[in-house]
Structure 1
């Protein structure tokens, strides 16, 4: 068993990240929702105005997992936060502390950048993930419900914006 290393994603990692995203989606039974392409992912992570960042866990030359995150902002704190979009460890690498190492790295980034919080969403049926996060002191926000507008509804709402 080799030591696992954690490092920031590089442009050449995009195909690996996309494969990990697809593996996560398959685990969550949401593969049918993945429309990401390497080009779109590259633009989002490494384009002129990157929208997200990622860190990868490597076991030698094999990608064991990843965490993808981006900045948010808390008006109540008047400080930035980090939103953890995805954290995934391939099943064959689970139980080795890789998920904790990825989460700790994102937390390190948040603290180094003066963030006031680190947040994420977990599917309510994913008991192993919920238990994993609770081990580190994460609390479910029972009074909050995630909402989403996407696809045609997003475009319909955007069309109703006042002209600039």
Structure 2
């Protein structure tokens, strides 16, 4: 069963985010708190949304996503930030069901794109994504600013007297 997350799901979402971070060899990078996640998902202006996969009335996976926008198509899209299914539930169709639910959101809302990133070494995930018809965007490279580089660039801003 796939359902929308509720505020009561925040602790289990945070636990699964920690499990995902450990799987991705970056446990120390998962620093979000329950209050941050609750505000992002259920605050007055939600920045993200989550779906929960359940088996036997217990959460076994989640998909956390947000809307993006394409200037080329003039439409929103879905960006899947995290997809995770607990190891004991893998192979049960939960990941595919979560992706299908997000694809349905795209189609129902007229969104033209459904995108996500995957680590290069995560061959099981890459194989799964290819099996459902997803294709890598090999001509694109993801860039990220964090830490000191982010603050340095912000300091060069001319907006608001910067």
- With normalisation by structure 1, the TM-score equals 0.95
The ranges of structure 1 where at least 4 consecutive aligned residues each deviate by more than 2 angstroms after the TM superposition are none
Unpaired segments ≥5 residues, structure 2: none
* Counterpart in the other structure of 1:68: 64
The alignment's C-alpha RMSD in Å is 0.9
CA distance in 2, matches of 1:49, 1:96: 34
CA distance in 1, matches of 2:155, 2:43: 27
* Counterpart in the other structure of 2:103: 107
CA offsets 1:93-135 (integer angstroms, 9 cap, x no match): 0111110000000111111111010000000000000000001
User: Is 1:89–2:60 an aligned residue pair?
Assistant: no
CA offsets 1:140-162 (integer angstroms, 9 cap, x no match): 01110000011222222122221
Question: What secondary structure is seen at the aligned counterpart in 2 of 1:134?
Answer: helix
User: Is 1:43–2:39 an aligned residue pair?
Assistant: yes
Number of aligned pairs?
A: 160
- With normalisation by structure 2, the TM-score equals 0.96
CA offsets 1:54-112 (integer angstroms, 9 cap, x no match): 00011123211000000000111111111000101001001111100000001111111
